[in-house]
Amino acid sequence: MSHPMHDDIQEVLYTQEQIQQRVRELGAQLTEDYAGRDLHLVTILKGSLPFLADLMRAIDLPLTVDLMGVSSYAGIHSTGEVRVTMDLDETIEGRHVVIVEDIIDTGNTLSYVLRNLRQRAPASVKIVTFLDKPARRGSPLEADYVGFTIPDDFVIGYGLDWNQRYRNLPYIGILKRDVYAGPL
Ligand SMILES: O=P(O)(O)OC[C@H]1O[C@H](OP(=O)(O)OP(=O)(O)O)[C@H](O)[C@@H]1O
Ligand SMILES: Nc1nc2[nH]cnc2c(=O)[nH]1
């Protein structure tokens, strides 16, 4: 059945089933790597919420979760200016932190978050990102765990937005050019 939201998609990159499979694999890897340690997941809002919700249930360890609101995109463009919209609730000092991100693109957001979190003296910091788009990276930045490496297209769904919309698409797709090239 046709639906306006789905009509805006040029191509489906990853289906719901492919996403779930890959998240299970990432969860199994983290379960192995963090066995015996207290894992603290720090999620970067808002795009990472669906990934966090799935990933945390795929990790078979005692863990804790906190949220940090960070934003830098307007439409399809990075403003280059990272804004903290909500700070963490708990201290991360002495804790084993894994940052949960939906996508690393230019790397601006995570470079900022890494600098910010390292000042708080955690025991360790690693990064898990569901998507990695290395083509547009400004400075070298590598995630420790990556779901999928994608080409240089603007993607939406599974939490990822365009102007705050499409986050509820259950799959990841490429947005049609005429959607973001046209009037809002
Ligand atoms: O590597 P970068 O080029 O910095 O891009 C990646 C960031 O962009 C998106 O966040 P956005 O600013 O759109 O906020 P949101 O998660 O609330 O949508 C995404 O969730 C990442 O945090
Ligand atoms: N929705 C979305 N947000 C992003 N932030 C950085 N890159 C992207 C992208 O390709 N899609």
For the complex shown, is ipTM > 0.95? yes
Q: Over the stretch 72-122, which tens digit does the pLDDT of each residue have?
A: 887 888 788 888 999 999 999 999 999 999 999 999 999 999 999 999 999
pLDDT at 35 over 80: yes
Ligand with the closest atom to the CA of 79:
1
Whether 8 is catalytic is no
What length does the chain have?
184
Residue 163 is encoded by which pair of tokens? 């102007």
What average pLDDT is seen over the chain?
A: 94
Residue 127 is encoded by which pair of tokens? 């990064």
**Alpha-carbon span 93 to 119, nearest angstrom:** 9
Residue nearest to atom 11 of ligand 2 (CA): 155
- For residue 102, the ligand 1 atom closest to its alpha carbon is 20
**8 Å CB contact between 170 and 157:** yes
**123-139: average pLDDT:** 95
Residue nearest to atom 7 of ligand 2 (CA): 105
What kind of fold does domain 16-151 have according to CATH? Rossmann fold (3.40.50)
Ligand 2 near 103 CB (within 6 A): yes
**Alpha-carbon span 26 to 163, nearest angstrom:** 28
Ligand 2 near 105 CB (within 6 A): yes
Q: Binning pLDDT at 50, 70 and 90, where does residue 40 land?
A: very high
Nearest alpha-carbon partner for 169 in 105, 102, 104, 106:
102
Q: Binning pLDDT at 50, 70 and 90, where does residue 183 land?
A: low
If you measure from the C-alpha of residue 31 to the centroid of ligand 2, how many angstroms do you get, rounded to a whole number?
Answer: 28
- For residue 107, the ligand 1 atom closest to its alpha carbon is 1
Catalytic residue among 8, 105, 144, 161: 105
